[in-house]
Each structure stands twice: as C-alpha cells, then as structure tokens.
A and B are shown apart, each in its own frame.
Chain A
Amino acid sequence: MKILVCISKAPDTTAKIAFTDGNTKFDENGVQFIVNPYDEWYALVRGLELKEANGGTVTVLNVGGAENDPIIRKALAIGADDAVRIDAAATDALSVAKQISNYAKDKGFDLIFLGKETIDYNGSQVGGMVAELMNLPYVSLATKIDVSGDVATVERDIEGGVEVVEVTGALVLSAAKGMAEARIPNMRGIMAARTKPLAVEAGTDVTAVTSIKNFELPPAKSACKLVAADNVEELVSLLHNEAKAI
C-alpha cells in the first residue's frame, strides 16, 4: 500500500497573530511553526497505522521552501518513510493542489491523506482540488478509514450525523478528529529522521487565482458585563432584552 500524506506548515496554536507591511503580511517574527495539527495528528498517524497493519510506505509531501525542512523532518521522526518537498511558493490552494497532483499523478499512490483544513487559512480546499485534478473520489472530514483489499470503508462527518462510504481503488481523504491519536516522536525516530530521504523537486509553473489583499484583526471585545451569582434573573433579562439572544 502506497500512502501519500500532504503536510502544511502552520503557526503554533498559541502563536500571537499580528501583521506587517500595512496589514498585508503575516508577522512571522517570534512565531514557532509546526506541522498543521490535522495533517500530523490525524492524516499522518492514520497513514502510519494503515502501513503498520497492511505493509507499504508512507511518503510525506510539502509544498514550500527550504525553511519548511524542520517540519518535514518532524513528520519523518513520527514515522514516515521518506519525504518530498516541492520547491515552490505555496501561493494559494489551487496552485498547491496543482503542485501536489502534478507530482503524484504518475506515482501510483493508493491513498492520499491530508488534514481537514490548515489552522492558518482555514480553507479546507486542497484535498478536494487534488481529488478533482487526479479524477479520484474525495472523502472530506473523515473520522475513520479501514482498508480491505482495494476497498476502503470510510466514515465522514455530515450535518448532525455520520455518513459511511465505500470507495474502490485510490482515493483522497481529509482527516478530522477521531481518525487517530497524536503520536509523539521518540528519540530513535528523531535520530532516524536525520538520515531518511528528503527529495527536493522543482515545482511546475502554476498561477495563483486568489490573493490576500490585506488582513484585519477583530475589534477589541468590549468589557464583559458581570452579573452577581445571586441575581441570575438579571442575566436572563439582559439576554432577552439587551442581547436579544433568547
């Protein structure tokens, strides 16, 4: 079984969000970058579990510059066999999806996994785009996958419930919470990651179709109105008359 896990670089979940250059660029100053949690905790770990159960390989892929190598090494430390970095700027979702599909289309991957979204741009786009570009089924926000022969049974979240689908042959999947439990790399994994292959491939020439013009921080929240614990009726009255929320 040949598994490809696409990983993205994201600011740490506790990073301070600020912008520079007239609010047009994310301020990376002092920001710790991590593997996007959905890619690492759920997509990568489930890929490794499937490999451990069925045999095969797990390759991680990232689109970006050499500054992304540390997070790629982290994925190798967790257990991926090898890695590919497409040396191209990750300008927008469609251009990243094109880089991934251009690389993956003739490699014969059985499963292509990624996280349900990145925690920076929250687009939830790349997986579906890769699937369409490669003409493969796509199961979004999947919480469970089991593989038997060339048939995968996958559960995915839907509005107020769960859908179970069966896919024959290769597929693209975006992983959500429930898919796997996060793994912490051990010392042996970290040592091994240093010598695992990390291939750098030139990107193909693609054009971005969206661009971020500028960012804005949310307005400061006005102070919380405190109500005394023995005056709960006052809270209900405020919610009804002032906030009009009940």
Chain B
Amino acid sequence: MSILIYADSSNGKLTKNAFEAANYGAQLAQQTGSSATALVTGTVSGIEELGKYGISKVLHASDATLDSFDPQKITHVIAEAAKSIGADTIIFSHDYSGKSVAPRLAAKLDAGLVSGAIALPNTDGGFVVKKAVFSGKAFAFVEVNSATKIVSVLPNSIEKKIGEGSAAIEAFAVEIPTTNLKVKEVRKESTELSLTEADIVVSAGRGLKGPENWGMIEELAHELGAATACSRPVADIGWRPHHEHVGQTGFAIRPNLYIAIGISGAIQHLAGVNGSKVIVVINTDAEAPFFKAADYGIVGDAFEVVPKLIEAVKKLKAQQ
C-alpha cells in the first residue's frame, strides 16, 4: 500500500486543512505499514513543515500555471503523481478544494471515494471509513471496494499527531493540460477569520433584535479569537451577510467551541453545527430546543449575559 496526500495551498502557503490531511495520511501509513507521500502544486513555501506531520517525502509540481486553482489541471497532476509512486490510496481534505478535485479524480481512476471521513479507515480485512450522514444526524460506515481508494477528511475531525522531522522535497515535472477555465479573481475576506477553519465560533440569531446589537457579539468573538456566525433568519433579513450563515443550507462547521446566542436551535440550524466539540447556548427561553444539544447553557437575556461574559473572558485572558 502506498498513500498519496494532496496538500492544498493558498497564497503560497500550505493550508491548515492540508496539514491535517497530511497527518491523516501519515497515520494511515503507520497503521498499514506503508509509505505516505504528499503532493504540493504551484509556488508554495514552507513545504518541509509537512515533515512534522509525518510526511517524509513531498512531490512538488511547482509549475506556475498551477498557482491558480483549476480542478481539471490539478486532477491530472494528482493522477500522474499517483501513477509515478504507485499509490493505491489518495487523501484529500474535504474542504472547498477537496470537494472540487477528489470526485474528479475518483471518476478518472474509477476509484471509490468516501468524502468527509471523521476517523481513520478500518483496514482490518477491508477498507471501511466512518463519515457523518443525514447532515450530522447519523454516521455511516462506508466500504470501498475498488483497487484505488480515495478519502477526503472532514476538517477539524481527527486528533493530530505532531512530531519532529523535515520532509525531503522532490521536484515533480508534469505536462499540464489546457482547459476552458480561467480564474479571474480571488477575493479573500482578509480581516476576518475563516468561519470553516475557526476553532471557536460565536454565533447569534433573532434574539439579538437588530443588526445594531452585533457589537457585543463581535467584541466577544474578538476576545476569544473567534469567528462570527449567524442563524438563517438573520442572514435572510439582511442583518448579517450570507457568508456568516451556518446551518443545513448555509455552512456546516465543527469548531472546538460553538457559542450560540439568541438562537432557538431549529433542527436545520443544528444540522450545520452538531459536529462542534463543545456547544454553549445562551437564550432567554429555557424551553429552546438548542439546550438539548448543548453542553453548557445559560437561561438569560443576551443583553445582560454577553457583556458579563466579555468581562469574564478578558479577566481569564489577563491571568494567562
């Protein structure tokens, strides 16, 4: 068995999700007694960092035409890399890049793909991967029966094992096909922490009564180093931008800590956040369904509780 990990980059640096996918591949290699090789495409620095995540060898296809993200080109490069090292298992992150490339590669290699894996495959006599289904309301154990297997790992879902070491980088030369797609522009919300990558998310809903009251939500998020999010009604009535909407039809997130303020917790909202490790709910209504999904809760008025919470967090941070 030989494992290839596609390590995605953004602005010339490997992403947090790339390191996670690399570590998943390295752990799988250790479990099966095989080797884990990473593939990096485009102009990227700091590649040797992958060594700390258990990768000993990196193939670097540094052709500058790969700097802009074209799934068709990347798929071709990954297929060539897989062929060159004889990879039978290929790992992605189940993030935006992974979602656009992994399925293409699966079709190209006639390989079974499990997307959104939340644990290492069970390789005891087969290849079975656990993933969340029904928007987090259940889990499925998916068996892959094809010779080549592809897994994309749900961000923030595995325990990372970080060690020492530096990865050896090998240039990987490959012919790049031409396609009908051109990347015209990339707009990053540079001042904000990416919602899907944030460890802590502070989210608020209609209980806040109006967009003018979001100052305290932003302040709490700032104190915690958190991203801000909102419920669907709040995005629909325009109090907050759509890219903050978490839930079944918005973004699905799984931070370490999710703080929901003034959100009742409709089943569709829970579907987008039920993968969070710790959930805190602050709501005036003790009967709000969200309390059933919460680890910690305060029944109280957000306008009284949140300012106190900001002070308490400040005090804690001052002690650290």
Contacts and interface: CB of A to CB of B under 8 A. Distances in A.
Interface of A: 11, 13-14, 17, 19, 37-38, 41, 92-94, 97, 116, 119-133, 137-141, 153, 156-169, 171, 177-178, 208-218, 221-222, 224-229, 232-233, 235-240, 243, 245-246
Contact of A160 (B71, B112, B192, B256): B192
Given A243-B278, A246-B224, 4 more contacts: A129-B106, A130-B107, A222-B295, A235-B280
A171 B182 CA distance: 13
Which range holds the interface residue count of chain B?
Answer: 35 or more
Given A17-B138, A161-B189, A229-B305, A245 B180 contact: no
B316 A132 contact: no
Given A177-B245, A235-B298, A243-B257, A93 B113 contact: yes
The prevalent SS among residues of A at the interface is: mixed
11 contacts: A13-B267, A122-B132, A124-B116, A129-B106, A131-B104, A160-B188, A160-B192, A162-B187, A165-B184, A226-B296, A233-B312
Interface in B113-152: 113-116, 128, 131-146
A137 B71 CA distance: 8
Interface string B265-305: 00110010010011011000000000111111111110011
Contact of B144 (A14, A119, A169, A209): A209
Given A137-B181, A178-B242, A210-B113, A128 B100 contact: yes
Contacts of A37: 248-249
B62 interface: no
B102 interface: yes
A163 B185 contact: yes
A223 B205 CA distance: 23
B186 interface: yes
Contacts of A132: 75, 103-108
B43 interface: no
Contacts of B106: 93-94, 125, 128-129, 132
Contacts of B243: 157
Contacts of B135: 13, 119, 122
B118 to A, nearest CB: 11
B85 interface: no
A236 B316 contact: yes
Given A132-B108, A246-B257, A166 B184 contact: yes
B141 A233 contact: no
B200 interface: yes
Given A163-B186, A210-B113, A215-B133, A128 B101 contact: yes
A193 to B, nearest CB: 24
A212 B142 contact: yes
Contacts of B100: 128, 138-141
Contacts of A233: 308, 312, 315
